[in-house]
């Protein structure tokens, strides 16, 4: 029996007896000194990294694995035994020809040297492009429309009958019966082509947009340097880095990391975060999300060969219609049913008229005065064509097309305005947003952090670049002070040691790194803006952070990444000192309020004021609030006091020093500075080892046992009954009696792993496991810290933010700031932005989350700033606002912002600072992270809604008038033919459905759209003013055409036609036939020009008289207008055969133009009719705004709480009706008059209408708005009024 050597936790191997060769349990990768040392335990016996050469399996001799072999690692399930067979990460990397530290090698232009070979062997990280739909596809789709099918069939019948008649006609000049059928067929082809080409262009636009929205960059290692790599450029063999918030872009195998956990719920359905690492799950699955920790992995699967790629290939579906499209489809269906009813009515009436007239004139037969069979068939086909044409005109196919065009145009233009739309419906919804919960950093500010001031050891101050550059000369001369056990004073570090310690923390306790900007080619720092600012501060102070990172003096032992819950980041470092034994040092940085809770001591140095700060203090000496509790900086404290010790000392952090630090922090906050506390704690090697191998290990073991017990408790026999489980991975379980896949002896025939059977929990847990546990962070960084420095970081406002906030307020959109900054900084920035105003509420998240529902209902309407908030606070705020009836937009950038972004009606993620989780949860990505882009989204959202309404207003007026004119003229005509022929109707239909949609959907939005309140969620598509214009214009068009039809012969001097009885008379001589044709041409021409001018009139859906405002900024409108006019002129003058038109003289043309132009003055008259006139006759004209919906919702909630008394409810309902928001001046602040029963209320400036209304309605809220009626439970330290 051979000896088995088991290495546990990297300690000296323990000897065991077994039948298998030597194996090792590997130590933590985080503690491994090199690749060879840290990975060799994973290889087979007598095998090292240097001699491991996988057998080439893909035939090209370059790589050790094929694409299929690597894909089999995770598909259909994670195959641990296969991974063990491949040699784990070292074997994979060796087979792929890549080094962990160097990554893939690149040539000039940052192109991987063997890129083409890897692409050929493993493919690209792109899914196969969906084959674009061709023009033929869209033509077939357009032809599948029922109306087009009917027209095609009837036109073919008409053409066949016409050809039959022409064949039997002896006179060549009379062989024209085929023309009508052919004309209809040609018109159908033109309509189908126009619709198909438009759909094709729209599809191309969305494909381009989708390609942009899916692209992103990840961190990777190439040529030994950390770089940003596009996900489309990831290759098999790449070494990628993982951080919290990353969405994994390709499959791979874990190499090294610290505390790495992934949420694979979206990929595998596993609800709990899965820990990754040696001894745990080593598979990194694409599509999953990093929830905590950091790590690196080697890519093994890309594109359709990856786990997520396989899923996406199976889930490819067409985009769903937006809510507006669905609503318009329903409206179009109802209109189509109404139009079809008219068409059927016309068909029946014309058929009866034709039969009755024919029977009275000789009947059917082959006699001289009788209708032959072919003539009867031709006439019936003509009647059928007219009826179908009415359906074609009545059915508003252009409505869905209009919203599609508007969305396509808006999303394309929004991309230029730095809004990348991921969810189309967000365009529509954003236009009616009532409130925005905005982040501060990067959204309202520039996200370009710079350290501008700070304190070292509490008493040494600096401010400005000049003093920062002199910081080393200022701090370095400080000598250690003296200890005093009675006062609990300890000897502090000298100036150089203090500087080195603080800058060591800045350099090592950071995830920022150097990268190359692709656009400029310059090297710059990449990472958190705060960390970048701290590194730049170190450089300005004369320290080389790269030298600190690369030096042998300090070695990173464990990193605890930044957490939004902890609002801090920590790093454990082992430091080798020249004049003493090595020590372990814990560096912590974060929000002062959070970090200082874990501090019990502080470094104090001699007093050294900042000259710049003294000048600044003098300039604001009149500000009593800022100077109330502070000693003037120019006043030197007594030597030997805590504010001016003789040397550097470490002193207990008592209440007085805490108060002094609070004063410093508030002073920074009043300057709108973000404050960062830099603290540390030191352990001797003996203390560290005793802690790690003693109490801390025991706590971790106990915690692990508790976790395992909880898991076992969940896997009860009852839960497992009837389940067929897959076997455990072969490398963890015994495969044959007496042995295991690890080559270790098992306990008889039991399949329990050797690890569980023979190695205790204490032996399994490595030092890295102990250090990586949350308990270690609490033990090392949760108490006993020393405050070293506090710095103030400035992030100036973005250009145009105050104006953008004011624009939102003018638009009736209430802006709130939700930030993680301290309350003073948040209030200062909010004041500068215009978000905070007198009478508003500023609150801390810690207090906000403790409020009950009643208190939230009181405070949220007035809440303007939520500071020190957690992602959960934001989620609570969003849910409550939606409950109150608000349409909520939210901005977010962090992983934990995902739930709030998903919950909001519109989620905005940050394109620059946002994590991939936030981007996936959002509806729109702000490519520049700027709040001004949110305002542009509101503008475009309202533009989309307006574009659809403009087209709706235009088309319905055409629908009504065309149907009625066709119906009336066909009934009175002696030949049962409409004044407007089938082909002419199809041309009008083309104008309505395609050209007008293009013209009205491409209007460029103006700031005028922001000068009105948002519409309510229940607001109708067609407002009263639109109905007034639709019915008014339809009345005008019907009247004009009927006058031309019946009075035209006399007006235009058609004596012969008038004498024959007009259009209702018998067709006699050729002159009568010609005049009849000219009159119908005039009617057709006038009708088209009525539509052309109505297109201009439809540009306004409000009561504004000037319909030409902004028309010069819309070139597509001019182009389409010109195309329609030119086409109409050609049709009239040269389309006699197809369109059955006749040449018109100048007078007749002038008459047509005058008739068409009547639309504009008539529209002006309709707009001048006051709404009060209609209100007086009982017609409701007021459009319900979003604010009224909010008020009504709040009223409903209050009623549900009150319950009970019916009379009281009725009284409240009556009061609610009196307090409706009907005056837009309410949005700007001011007074509102009410009945004598209710006193006037002064509305705070910039107050949201819903807030004021709710304050008026309900006693609780009204009491809250009074300065003397504040709830007594409110802690004054958590809010500002």
> Which residues have CB under 8 Å from 1184's CB, separation 6+?
1015, 1016, 1018, 1019
d(CA 1157, CA 1247): 45
HSE-CB of 441 using CA atoms within 13 angstroms: 23
In order of 536, 604, 686, the CA distances from 501 in angstroms are 17, 15, 21
d(CA 261, CA 986): 63
> Which residues have CB under 8 Å from 233's CB, separation 6+?
125
d(CA 400, CA 423): 17
Residue with tokens 């009643």: 854
DSSP assignment of 781-841, as one string?
A: HSSSEEEEEEEEEE-PBPTTHHHHHHHHHHTT-EEEEE-SS-HHHHHHHHHHHT---TT-E
Among this protein's residues, is 439 annotated catalytic?
yes
Strand-pairing partners, residue 256, are 296
Strand-pairing partners, residue 602, are 651, 787
DSSP 311: H
> Which residues have CB under 8 Å from 986's CB, separation 6+?
151, 184, 187, 188, 190, 191, 389, 392
d(CA 653, CA 657): 6
In order of 52, 88, 187, 562, 1065, the CA distances from 93 in angstroms are 10, 9, 65, 30, 94
β-pair type (863-867, 841-844): parallel
Q: Is residue 351 within 8 Å of residue 383, measured between CB atoms? A: yes
- List, in sequence order, the alpha helices (H) in 20-177: 35-39, 67-71, 80-86, 88-96, 115-122, 135-143, 146-167
Sequence length of the chain is 1281
DSSP assignment of 1017-1041, as one string?
A: TT--SS-HHHHHHHHHHHHHHHHHH
Handedness of CA 633, 634, 635, 639 (dihedral sign): positive
d(CA 946, CA 410): 12
> CA 369, 373, 375, 379: dihedral to nearest 10 degrees?
120
Of 825, 1020, 974, 973, nearest to 361 (Cα)? 974
Q: Is residue 280 within 8 Å of residue 729, measured between CB atoms? A: no
Handedness of CA 658, 663, 669, 671 (dihedral sign): negative
Q: Is residue 270 within 8 Å of residue 239, measured between CB atoms? A: no
Distance in angstroms between the alpha carbons of the first and the last residue of the chain: 81
d(CA 812, CA 1012): 7
Q: Is residue 221 within 8 Å of residue 296, measured between CB atoms? A: yes
Residue with tokens 């962070």: 777
Helix H, strand E, coil C: the string for 481-519 is CCCECCCCEEECCCHHHHHHHHHHHHHHCCCCEEEECCC
d(CA 230, CA 1096): 47
- On the question of a cis peptide bond just before residue 867, with omega within 30 degrees of 0, the verdict is no
How many C-beta neighbours within 10 Å does residue 936 have?
A: 21
Q: 199, 263, 439, 905: which one is catalytic? A: 439
DSSP 1236: T
**Could you give the angle at the alpha carbon of 1051 between the alpha carbons of 1047 and 1052, nearest 5°?**
120
d(CA 310, CA 1166): 60
Residues with catalytic roles: 439
């Amino acid at each position: 029996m051979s000896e088995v050597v088991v290495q546990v936790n990297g300690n000296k191997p323990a000897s065991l007896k077994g039948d298998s060769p030597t194996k090792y349990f590997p130590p933590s990768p985080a503690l491994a000194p090199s690749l060879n040392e840290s990975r060799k335990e994973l290889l087979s016996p007598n095998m090292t990294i240097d001699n491991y050469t996988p057998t080439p399996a893909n035939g090209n001799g370059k790589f050790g694995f094929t694409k299929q072999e690597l894909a089999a690692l995770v598909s259909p399930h994670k195959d641990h035994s296969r991974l063990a067979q491949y040699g784990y990460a070292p074997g994979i990397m060796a087979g792929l020809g890549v080094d962990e530290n160097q990554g893939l090698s690149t040539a000039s232009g940052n192109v991987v040297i063997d890129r083409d070979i890897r692409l050929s062997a493993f493919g690209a990280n792109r899914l196969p492009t969906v084959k674009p739909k061709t023009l033929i596809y869209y033509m077939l789709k357009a032809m599948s429309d029922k109306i087009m099918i009917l027209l095609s069939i009837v036109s073919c019948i008409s053409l066949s009958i016409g050809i039959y008649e022409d064949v039997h006609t002896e006179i060549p000049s009379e062989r024209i019966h085929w023309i009508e059928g052919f004309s209809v067929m040609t018109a159908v082809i033109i309509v189908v082509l126009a619709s198909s080409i438009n759909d094709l262009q729209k599809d191309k636009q969305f494909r381009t947009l989708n390609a942009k929205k899916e692209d992103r960059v990840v961190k990777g290692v190439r040529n030994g340097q950390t770089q940003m790599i596009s996900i489309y450029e990831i290759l098999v063999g790449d070494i990628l880095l993982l951080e919290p918030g990353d969405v994994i872009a390709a499959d791979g195998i874990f190499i090294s990391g610290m505390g790495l956990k992934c949420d694979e719920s979206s990929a595998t359905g596993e609800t709990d975060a899965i820990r990754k690492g040696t001894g745990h799950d080593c598979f990194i699955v694409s599509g999953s999300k990093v929830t905590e920790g950091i790590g690196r992995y080697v890519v093994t699967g890309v594109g359709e060969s990856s786990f997520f790629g396989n899923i996406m290939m199976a889930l490819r579906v067409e985009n769903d219609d937006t809510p507006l499209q669905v609503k318009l489809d329903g409206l179009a269906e109802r209109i189509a049913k109404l139009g079809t009813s008219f068409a059927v009515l016309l068909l029946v009436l014309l058929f009866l008229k034709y039969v009755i007239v024919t029977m009275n004139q000789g009947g059917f037969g082959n006699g001289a005065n009788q209708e032959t069979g072919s003539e009867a068939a031709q006439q019936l086909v003509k009647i059928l064509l007219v009826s179908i044409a009415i359906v074609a005109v009545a059915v508003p196919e252009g409505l869905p097309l209009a919203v599609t065009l508007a969305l396509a145009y808006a999303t394309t233009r929004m991309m230029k305005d730095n809004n990348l739309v991921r969810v189309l419906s967000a365009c529509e919804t954003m236009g009616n947003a009532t409130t925005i919960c905005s982040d501060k950093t990067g959204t309202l500010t520039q996200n370009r952090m710079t350290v501008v001031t700070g304190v070292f050891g509490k008493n040494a101050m600096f401010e400005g670049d000049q003093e920062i550059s002199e910081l080393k000369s200022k701090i370095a001369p400080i000598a250690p002070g003296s200890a005093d056990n009675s006062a609990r004073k300890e000897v502090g570090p000298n100036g150089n040691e203090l500087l080195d310690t603080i800058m060591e923390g800045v350099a090592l306790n950071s995830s920022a790194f150097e990268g190359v900007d692709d656009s400029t080619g310059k090297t710059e720092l990449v990472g958190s803006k705060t960390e970048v600012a701290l590194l730049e501060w170190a450089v300005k102070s004369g320290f080389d952070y790269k030298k600190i990172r690369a030096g042998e003096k300090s070695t990173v032992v464990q990193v605890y990444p930044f957490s939004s819950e902890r609002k801090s980041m920590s790093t454990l470092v082992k430091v080798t000192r020249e004049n003493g034994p090595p020590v372990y040092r814990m560096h912590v940085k974060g929000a002062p309020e959070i970090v200082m809770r874990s501090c019990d001591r502080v470094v104090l140095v001699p007093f050294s004021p900042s000259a710049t700060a003294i000048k600044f203090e003098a300039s604001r000496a009149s500000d009593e609030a800022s100077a109330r509790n502070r000693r003037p900086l120019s006043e030197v404290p007594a030597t030997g006091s805590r504010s001016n010790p003789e040397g550097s000392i470490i002193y207990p952090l008592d209440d007085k020093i805490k108060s002094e630090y609070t004063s410093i922090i508030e002073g920074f906050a009043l300057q709108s500075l973000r404050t960062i506390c830099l603290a540390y704690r030191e352990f001797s090697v003996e203390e560290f080892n005793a802690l790690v191998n003693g109490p801390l290990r025991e706590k971790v073991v106990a915690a692990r046992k508790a976790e395992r017990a909880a898991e076992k408790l969940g896997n009860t026999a009852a839960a497992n009954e009837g389940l067929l489980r897959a076997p455990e991975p072969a490398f963890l379980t015994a495969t044959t009696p007496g042995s295991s896949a690890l080559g270790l002896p098992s306990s008889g025939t039991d399949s329990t792993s050797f690890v569980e059977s023979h190695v205790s929990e204490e032996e399994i847990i490595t030092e890295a496991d102990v250090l990586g546990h949350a308990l270690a962070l609490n033990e090392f960084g949760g108490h006993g810290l020393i405050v070293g420095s506090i710095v103030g970081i400035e992030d100036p406002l973005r250009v145009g933010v105050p104006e953008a906030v004011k624009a939102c307020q003018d638009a009736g959109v209430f802006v709130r700031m939700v930030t993680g900054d301290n309350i003073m900084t948040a209030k200062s920035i909010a004041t500068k932005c215009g978000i905070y105003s007198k009478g508003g509420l500023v609150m801390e998240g810690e207090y906000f989350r403790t409020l009950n529902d009643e208190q939230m209902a009181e405070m949220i309407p007035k809440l303007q700033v939520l500071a020190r908030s957690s992602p959960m606070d934001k989620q609570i705020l969003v849910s409550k606002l939606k409950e109150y009836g608000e349409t909520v937009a939210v901005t977010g950038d962090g992983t934990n912002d995902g739930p709030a972004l998903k919950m909001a009606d519109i989620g905005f993620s940050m394109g620059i600072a946002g994590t991939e989780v936030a981007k996936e949860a959002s509806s729109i990505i702000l490519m520049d992270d700027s709040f001004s882009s949110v305002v542009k989204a509101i503008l475009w959202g309202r533009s989309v809604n307006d574009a659809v309404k403009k087209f709706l207003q235009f088309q319905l007026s055409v629908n009504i008038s065309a149907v009625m004119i066709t119906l009336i003229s066909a009934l009175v005509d002696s030949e049962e033919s409409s004044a407007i022929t089938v082909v002419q109707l199809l041309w009008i239909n083309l104008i309505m459905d395609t050209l007008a949609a293009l013209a009205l959907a491409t209007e460029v939005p103006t700031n005028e759209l922001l000068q009105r309140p948002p519409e309510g969620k229940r607001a109708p598509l067609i407002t009263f003013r639109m109905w007034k214009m639709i019915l008014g214009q339809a009345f005008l068009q019907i009247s004009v055409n009927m006058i031309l039809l019946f009075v035209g012969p006399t007006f235009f001097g058609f004596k012969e036609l008038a004498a024959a009885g007009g259009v209702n008379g018998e067709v006699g001589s050729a002159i009568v036939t010609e005049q009849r044709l000219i009159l119908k041409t005039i009617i057709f021409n006038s009708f088209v020009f009525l539509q052309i001018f109505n297109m201009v009139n439809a540009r306004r859906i409000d009561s504004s008289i000037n319909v030409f405002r902004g028309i010069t900024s819309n070139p597509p409108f001019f182009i389409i207008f010109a195309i329609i006019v030119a086409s109409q002129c050609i049709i009239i003058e040269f389309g006699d055969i197809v369109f059955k038109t006749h040449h018109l003289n100048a007078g007749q043309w002038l008459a047509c133009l005058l008739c068409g132009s009547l639309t504009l003055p008539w529209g002006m008259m309709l707009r001048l009719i006051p709404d009060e006139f209609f209100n007086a006759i009982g017609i409701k004209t007021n459009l319900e705004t979003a604010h009224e919906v909010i008020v009504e919702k709040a009223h409903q909630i209050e009623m549900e709480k009150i319950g009970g008394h019916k009379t009281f409810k009725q009284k409240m309902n009556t009061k609610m009706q009196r307090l409706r928001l009907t005056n837009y001046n309410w949005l700007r602040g001011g007074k509102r008059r009410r009945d004598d029963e209710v006193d006037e209320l002064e509305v705070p400036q910039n107050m949201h209408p819903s807030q004021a209304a709710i304050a008026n309605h309900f006693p609780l809220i009204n009491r809250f708005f009074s300065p003397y009626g504040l709830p007594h439970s409110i802690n004054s330290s958590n809010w500002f009024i």
